Structure 1
Amino acid sequence: MQLTSELIIQLGFWLTWLIVPVVYELIPTIYGLLRITLAKQKPIKELKRFVSISLIIPTYNADKTLYRCIESIEKSSYPAKLIRIIVADNQSTDDTFKEFHRAQLAFPSLRMQWINAHRGKANALNAAIYNISDPYVINIDSDGILQKDALLNMIKMFENNPNIDALTGTILTQYRQITKTRNFWLRLLQKNEYFEYVQAFLAGRTVEAVNNQLFTMSGAFSGFRRVKLLQTRLYDTKTVGEDIDMTFQIRYELKGRVDLCPKAVFYVEPIPSLDALYMQRQRWQRGEINAVSKFMQDNMKLTEVFKNFVVRRLLIDHTVLFLRMIWLFAFIVLVPFGYSLHLITMSFVFLYFLYIGIAILNFVSAYAYLRSFHSDKIFYLKNWWIIFTLPFFFMVLSFIQMVGLVNTMTQPAQWRVKNYHEEYNAIKQIVSHDLKEVTKKDEE
């Protein structure tokens, strides 16, 4: 009887431990791979005529990157004479304007304009939009470079699909910059980030786009039909997630279609430090929560889970997020409850290999799209072993997301969030202060 009871307890433990990642992560990954494999790719027709486009580059202290960004536009396969570039600067204090002027002299075939804007990326984008008359508007960040055919592929997709109102491009990190990183641990972090971007865009977002359920456009590289863009309230200057806010405006307020152009690639710089990753992901988390609370407040009910993919997405994301944190601290919680260290260790091993399996499926799914980009394909295949470090990378991201959730609920919105050293010191001061107060009370 006792043996049966222990067996039931262990089976219950294993089911509780493994059912969530299987249901919320493994099954959707398998479904996504099948969906991409079986989806019929509509042939993209060549353009009958090239249309003029406006390209906005918001800048702030971008003197190290702006020239290379503009150079990548000049090298684009899209006709330079039909590209109008608006550099919208939000009060830079470095030599950004000098780099803009240098690019003007170096690339006379490009039509370039400089405008000054109020502080903040959203303000810069809005100021530029008011100066645009071309049918398509494309935004790119100043710290990245366009793949040669990125603009052409994006306009092709727009022209072939008149029902699409906005597109996000595929964001990848510059792998050549990664190979130049000397610090082993930073290079490992950057490679994990590269794999995350590849799999997020070419596996995750591709499936979302097939089902017309793309959650958000990327602020680093997005395109719009000007007609639809001017129907919005433009970019929200009071949120750190202006790209998410714009996605929700088009999708929910205007009932428009937002899609992904997987072959329009924009290369951003790899993350420079763990501090930068910590701050970046907290901003993303805050922006997501702000947008959802603003647009979906009346729909955030469990009864909507099968009707509304945003509700379903948030439920899955945050369920998995909380459980990853529970798994992270399982040793502290479960051992005092009588669970054996051997059982818990075996559970971690099973979970690790489960996530490896998910990473392999995403690896295969993303590779199907990456074949079109030879140099990226080689780098991706050469570093296949990164799939074995991805579970740890995602665990770190989950921890950062959890901190972001707490900070969003307890702190006012601000563009710059604290890095993890600042967070640690703040927590240390609070704990030290509380201990002193407790000690004083005991002495009294």
Structure 2
Amino acid sequence: MTKEFLWNFIIFWGIWLLIPMMLDGVIAAKHIIFSWRMLRKEQREDKDLSISYYPRVSIVVPVHNSEGTLHACLTSIFAQNYPRERIEVFLIDNGSSDDSFRVFNRFSNAHGGLCLRWVRIEEAGKAKALNSGVFLGNSEIIINLDSDAQIGPNVVLETVHAMFLNDQVAGATGAILIDHKQINKKSLGLRLLQHCELLEYLEAFFVGRKYQSHRNRLFTLAGAFSCFNRRSLLNTHLYDSNSISEDTKMTFELRMRNDQQKLIFMDKAKIYLEPISSWAKLYSQRVRWQRGELEVISSYTELYKGSVLKLIRSFASRMLFIDHTLMFPRIVWTVLTPLLVFVGYPLELILLANFFVYLMYLFIDANYLLVAYFYLDKEYRAYLREHCWVIIFMPVFRFIVFWFRVAAMIHAITEPAQWNAENPVAQTRRALRGLGKFVFRVLGRNKSSA
């Protein structure tokens, strides 16, 4: 390696590499330091789950064509380490056209001791189903649970400890994990995607949500599982049926209407979801999440408008800055890096710089996953050890997801909000078909005029 080559790398690339290092490296360093400190602190503490009084708990499960997942969901509720007579479950059917009701009937006939009620509403929509369930019970704690989710055996008990014994908590969410038993065994490509999603969820909850909770800046109570103090929930306008991100909007609403209370993350309350079924589904999901985030932040401008100091202090404005404003330097980095070949920079220099960036993200993921590892049970840990090699693909997975988020920004400007966004491949095919039809029409018109 020549001296000139070395100086080129140090001066030019040292500055150029600051872009991803400043954007993600600094934030990650703060999260890593916090996570390790918190983990050591919690390992010294012995949490006692014993209680003398068991309050009644209402679990609301929105049901929409949930035939394939409903039985497992209800089984996980039935298996709770909590008195069954103190749990009431409301299944709100909002327009199912499959045999979900038959699954419910079979389960209720076979499992006594658990209060199960089936309620059908005429209007479709998850928000309307959740709002209906709020008024059906009379318990002090309300849990909203997706019909394709399964909860760990101590979830209700953990929720009671977190909320009933602490009136300073308005709402909470648990650790949403991918059920590794449902990872696809046949398709290598799909299996790799699902493994990456599994690791991403571990990092997002045991590092990201945990840090937000500690600072009382929890951005979203996860739609798959969230729980509320009834009085705090009734202070809000409930779920917004016009929003594509009703869970995030409810989180903001809950915070605004109960500003003396906290929103928390319960790391020991584990909820398991089936993995994503395709890249198209992942694209649609991430576009909806990112667009919903923009929509909600723009609806609560009072959180950060009014003064510069308020703007700096607001967690909403910081999230907007990190997730959206800083998106543009990343785009610049991605687009300009290959073009440097055409202005004289050696290809090996460019590849070396990008390799260092890759190593930085790999280091971040390794630390995040190591933290998450200590919060998992023995079975999940064993699975993670067996598939730890997937971590080498995580920087690439995150890079792809980043461009999904960029697409969401474009969607927000050019298209009306919708629950399912069409994936780019389908959009391209549709555009090509439309172009072909247009060309044939033009050729046919010219031929007839001739």
Q: TM-score, normalised by structure 2?
A: 0.89
Q: What's 1:284 paired with?
A: 289
Q: What's 2:117 paired with?
A: 113
Matched residue of 1:115: which SS?
Answer: strand
Aligned with 1:259 (options 260, 264, 275): 264
Higher mean C-alpha displacement, 375-384 vs 165-174: 375-384
Q: What's 1:392 paired with?
A: 396
Alignment of 1:38-49 (within 5 A): 38-39=37-38, 40-41=41-42, 44-45=47-48, 46-49=50-53
Q: Report whether the alignment pairs 1:312 with 2:312.
A: no
Distance across 2 between alignment mates of 1:309 and 1:437: 54
Matched residue of 1:28: which SS?
Answer: helix
Give the partner amino acid of 2:152: Q
Alignment of 1:8-407 (within 5 A): 11=10, 13-39=12-38, 40-41=41-42, 44-45=47-48, 46-117=50-121, 118-178=123-183, 180-255=184-259, 256-296=261-301, 299=304, 304=310, 306-370=312-376, 373-407=377-411
Q: What's the CA shift for 1:205?
A: 1.1
Q: In the alignment, is the contact (CA less than 8 A) between 2:60 and 2:133 conserved in 1?
A: yes
Deviations 1:173-232 (A, max 9, x none): 110111x52101100100000000011101111111111111111000000001101111
Q: In the alignment, is the contact (CA less than 8 A) between 2:70 and 2:147 conserved in 1?
A: yes
Q: What's the CA shift for 1:340?
A: 2.9
Q: In the alignment, is the contact (CA less than 8 A) between 2:174 and 2:226 conserved in 1?
A: yes
Q: In the alignment, is the contact (CA less than 8 A) between 1:59 and 1:142 conserved in 2?
A: yes
Q: What's the CA shift for 1:436?
A: 10
Distance across 1 between alignment mates of 2:429 and 2:16: 34
Give the partner amino acid of 1:24: L
Distance across 2 between alignment mates of 1:298 and 1:434: 49
Distance across 2 between alignment mates of 1:82 and 1:38: 37
Q: In the alignment, is the contact (CA less than 8 A) between 1:56 and 1:88 conserved in 2?
A: yes
Deviations 1:79-110 (A, max 9, x none): 11111000011101111111111111121211
Give the partner amino acid of 1:138: I
* Alpha-carbon spacing, 1:332–1:24, altered in 2? closer, same or farther (3 Å): closer
Give the partner amino acid of 1:352: Y
Give the partner amino acid of 1:346: L
Q: What's the CA shift for 1:437?
A: 12
Q: In the alignment, is the contact (CA less than 8 A) between 1:279 and 1:417 conserved in 2?
A: yes
Higher mean C-alpha displacement, 220-229 vs 153-162: 153-162
Q: In the alignment, is the contact (CA less than 8 A) between 2:141 and 2:164 conserved in 1?
A: no
Distance across 2 between alignment mates of 1:339 and 1:252: 52
Distance across 2 between alignment mates of 1:294 and 1:13: 42
Matched residue of 2:374: which SS?
Answer: helix
Q: What's the CA shift for 1:427?
A: 4.4
Distance across 2 between alignment mates of 1:7 and 1:437: 60
Q: What's the CA shift for 1:352?
A: 0.6
Q: In the alignment, is the contact (CA less than 8 A) between 2:145 and 2:224 conserved in 1?
A: yes
Identity over aligned pairs, percent = 31
Q: In the alignment, is the contact (CA less than 8 A) between 1:283 and 1:404 conserved in 2?
A: yes
* Alpha-carbon spacing, 1:403–1:429, altered in 2? closer, same or farther (3 Å): farther
* Alpha-carbon spacing, 1:24–1:95, altered in 2? closer, same or farther (3 Å): same
Higher mean C-alpha displacement, 259-268 vs 248-257: 248-257
Distance across 1 between alignment mates of 2:228 and 2:303: 28
Deviations 1:391-442 (A, max 9, x none): 00001100111111110111111222213332222444577799999999xx
Structure 1 residue ranges without an equivalent (≥5): none
Matched residue of 2:366: which SS?
Answer: helix
Matched residue of 1:282: which SS?
Answer: helix
Matched residue of 1:126: which SS?
Answer: helix
Higher mean C-alpha displacement, 315-324 vs 228-237: 315-324
Matched residue of 2:89: which SS?
Answer: strand
Give the partner amino acid of 2:13: W
Aligned with 1:418 (options 418, 422, 425): 422
Matched residue of 1:329: which SS?
Answer: helix
Distance across 2 between alignment mates of 1:267 and 1:69: 10
* Alpha-carbon spacing, 1:305–1:24, altered in 2? closer, same or farther (3 Å): farther
Aligned residues: 434
Higher mean C-alpha displacement, 71-80 vs 18-27: 18-27
Structure 2 residue ranges without an equivalent (≥5): 446-450
Distance across 1 between alignment mates of 2:66 and 2:186: 24
Matched residue of 1:112: which SS?
Answer: strand
Distance across 1 between alignment mates of 2:180 and 2:265: 22
